[in-house]
Amino acid sequence: MIILKHLTVERFRLLREINLHFPQRGSILIQGPNEAGKSALLESIYFALYGTAIASDRSKSSVDELVLYGSSQASVTLTLSIGATELIINRIIERGKGQQVTLYVHKVGMPEEEPITRLGSANARIITELGCMDGETLRNSCYIEQKSLHRVENLPGSERDATLRKLLGLEKLMRLTEQFKLTPNDERMLHESTERLKLAEVQARIPELSRRLGELEAALDAVSVSEDLTEINQQEADIAEQELFLEQLRAKRAELKARQSRIQQLNKADATLGEIITAYDEIAEARRELPELEREIAELDRREHEELPALEKRVKDLVDLTRSFGTLERLSNDLLSAVNTIKELEKELKSYERLQKENDELDAQMSNLGAQMEQGRQSLNELEELRRVGRPPLEARLRRLRGLNERLRALEQAEEKYTRRVMQQGLVEENTVQLAKTRKDLEEKEQELKLVETEARQAQQKVDALEKQLQQFNIERQLKVWQHLKGLSQGLAEAEQHVMAAHQHQERLTNAALEARRAANRWLMIAIGSGGLGIVLGIVALLIFSQQAILASALGLLVLLLLAGAGLSIYKYNEVHNEEQIANRHMQDAISQVGMMVAARETAMRTSGKRDALAQVEQEIRSLGGSVPRSREEAQQLLQQIQDKGESLDSIQQHLTEKQDAALALHDQVNVIKDAVAVLRQERQHLEDQRKNEGWDNMDAKLRSDRIAIQDRQNEITTLSGQEGLSIPTFDTSVATVASVKESTTTVDDLEMAIADAIKATEREIVTLDSKLEHVSDLTAKLKEQKESLDILLGSKRALTERGQHYQGVNVVEQFELARKQQLTLRSALQSLQDSLRQRVKPLGVTFGQTAINSAEIAARKQLETLHISLGNRVELQSRHDHYAIVLKEWQDSLADHYNRLAKYSGSLGSWIVPANPFAETLVMLRQRCAQEIIHADESGLLQGLEKIQVQEKASKAKIELCRQEIEEAHERITTMLVQRNRPPTKSYNFTAIVSVWPLVGEYTTLDRARLEEDRESLEQELQTLEQQELSLSTQLQTGDRLDLEQARIRKQQQERDYETKKYGSLLLKSMSERLMRKMLPRTAYYMQQLLPLLTSGRYHDVRLRTDEEEGTTSGGPFQLRVWDTAAGEYVPRSALSGGVTDQLSLALRLAFAIAALPRELVAAPGFVVLDEPLSSFDRSRTQALVNVVTGEILGQHFEQILFVSHSSAFDPAMFPYHIYMDNGVVVESNLPVVASFPALAINGSGSEAQQESKSEGEKEEDGEMIEAEPASVGAEI
Condensed to tens digits (0 to 9), the pLDDT of residues 652-670 reads 777 777 777 787 887 888 8
7: containing domain: 1-131+1193-1271
Q: Is the pLDDT of residue 398 over 70?
A: yes
Q: What is the pLDDT of residue 100?
A: 92
User: Does the pLDDT of residue 1249 top 50, yes or no?
Assistant: no
- From 641, 662, 681, give the residue that closes a domain: 641
Which of 167-176, 452-461, 1134-1143 has the lowest average pLDDT? 167-176
Q: What is the pLDDT confidence band of residue 941, given thresholds at 50, 70 and 90? A: confident
Pairwise CA distance, residues 42 & 1203, whole Å: 9
Q: What is the largest CA-CA distance in the chain?
A: 201
Q: At 1036, phi and psi to the nearest 5? A: -65, -40
Amino acid code (one letter) for 704: R
Q: Give CA separation, 1234 vs 25, 38, 61, 503, 1268, in Å.
A: 15, 20, 36, 21, 15
Cα dihedral value 389, 391, 394, 400, nearest 10? -100
Residue 505 counted as domain residue: yes
Closest to 74 in 3D by CA, of 97, 55, 105: 97
Residue 68 domain-assigned?
yes
User: 1180-1191 and 1045-1095 are packed helices; what angle lies between their axes, rounded to 10 degrees?
Assistant: 130
Cα 1091 to Cα 1147: distance, rounded to the nearest angstrom: 9
DSSP label at residue 1240: P
The reported pLDDT for the residue numbered 740 is 41
Q: What is the 3-state secondary structure (H, E, C) of 1004-1069?
A: CCHHHHHHHHHHHHHHHHHHHHHHHHHHHHHHHHCCCCCCCHHHHHHHHHHHHHHHHHHHHHHHHH
Q: Which of 606, 641, 676 is the last residue of a domain?
A: 641
| CA distances to 35, 41, 55, 63, 1037 from 72, in Å | 21, 19, 22, 12, 67
Where is pLDDT greater, at 586 or 22?
A: 22
3-state secondary structure 851-864: HHHHHHHHHHHHHH
- Is the model's pLDDT at 103 over the cut of 90? yes
Position with higher pLDDT, 1077 vs 415: 415
Residue type at 586? H
Whether pLDDT at 314 is above 70: yes
Angle at 190 between CA 187 and CA 191, to 5 degrees: 80
Query: Is 38 within the bounds of a domain?
Result: yes
Confidence of residue 648 (pLDDT cuts 50, 70, 90): low
Q: Which residue has the higher pLDDT, 560 or 379?
A: 560
> By percentage, how much of the chain surpasses pLDDT 90?
4
568: domain CATH number?
Answer: 1.10.287
| Predicted confidence (pLDDT) at residue 491 exceeds the cutoff of 60 | yes
> In terms of residues, how long is the chain?
1278
Does 868 have pLDDT greater than 50? yes
User: Starting from the edge strand earliest in sequence, which strands make up the sheet with 1218-1223, in order?
Assistant: 98-107, 85-94, 73-82, 2-12, 15-21, 1226-1230, 1218-1223, 26-31, 1201-1205, 1168-1172, 143-144
Using the predicted structure, report yes or no on whether residue 947 has a pLDDT greater than 80.
yes
What is the pLDDT confidence band of residue 1239, given thresholds at 50, 70 and 90? Answer: very low
- Asked if 79 contacts 87 with a C-beta cutoff of 8 angstroms, the reply is yes
pLDDT tens-digit readout, 1108-1135 = 777 767 667 787 788 888 888 888 887 8
Question: Residue 943 falls within a domain, yes or no?
Answer: no
pLDDT at 721: 75
Mean pLDDT of 793-818: 71
pLDDT at 815 over 80: no
Using CA atoms, how far apart are residues 1182 and 1179, in angstroms rounded to an integer? 6
Select from 535, 583, 544 the least CA-distant residue to 562. Answer: 535
Residue 1253 domain flag: yes
368 Cβ contact partners less than 8 Å away, ≥ 6 residues apart:
none
- The residue that leads in pLDDT, 91 or 690, is 91
Q: Of 623, 641, 659, which residue is a domain's last? A: 641
Residue 741 has pLDDT above 60, yes or no: no
Q: Alpha helices of 805-938 — where are they, by DSSP H?
A: 812-841, 850-872, 874-909, 920-937
Does some domain include residue 60? yes
Residue 1204: what are its φ and ψ, rounded to 5°?
Answer: -120, 120
Flag the least confident range among 220-234, 364-378, 952-966: 364-378
CA dihedral 1007, 1013, 1018, 1023 (to 10 degrees): 140
- List beta partners, residue 20: 7
1241 pLDDT exceeds 50? no
Residue 823 lies in a domain: no
> Is the pLDDT at 803 greater than 70, yes or no?
no
pLDDT digits (tens, 9 = 90+) for 1147-1200: 888 888 888 777 765 556 788 888 888 766 677 777 888 888 888 888 888 888
- Residue 778 amino acid letter: D
β-pairing, 1226-1230 vs 73-82, is: unpaired
Q: What pLDDT was estimated at residue 717?
A: 78
Strands 1226-1230 and 143-144: unpaired
How many other C-beta atoms are found inside a 10 Å radius of the C-beta of residue 541?
A: 20
Number of domains in the chain: 2
Q: Indicate which CATH number applies to the domain containing 50.
A: 3.40.50.300
pLDDT at 1263 over 50: no
Residue 1017 has pLDDT above 80, yes or no: yes
* Beta carbons within 10 angstroms of residue 254's beta carbon: 8
Q: Does residue 371 belong to any structural domain of this protein? A: no
- 318-328 mean pLDDT: 76
Sign of CA dihedral 317, 320, 324, 330: positive
Angstrom distance (rounded) from CA 179 to CA 845: 142
Residue 1185: closest CA among 1211, 1223, 1149: 1211
Q: How far is CA 46 from each of CA 136, 151, 719, 1230, rounded to the nearest angstrom?
A: 11, 17, 101, 21
Spacing of C-alpha 1032 from chain mean position = 41
Whether residue 202 contacts residue 1026, with contact meaning beta carbons closer than 8 Å, is answered with: yes
For the segment 564-599, what is each residue's pLDDT rounded down to a tens digit?
A: 888 888 888 888 888 878 877 777 777 667 666 666
Average pLDDT, whole number, for the chain? 77
Name the pLDDT band for 1246 (thresholds 50, 70, 90).
very low
Higher per-residue confidence, 790 vs 970:
970
Q: Phi, psi at residue 402, to the nearest 5°?
A: -65, -40
- Please tell me the predicted confidence (pLDDT) of residue 1247: 39
Q: What one-character-per-residue DSSP string does 715-763 give?
A: HHHHHHHHHTTPPPP---S--SSHHHHHHTHHHHHHHHHHHHHHHHHHH
pLDDT of 594: 63
Please tell me the distance from the alpha carbon of residue 1223 to that of residue 38, in angstroms, as a whole number.
Answer: 9
Distance separating alpha carbons of residues 50 and 101, to the nearest angstrom: 11
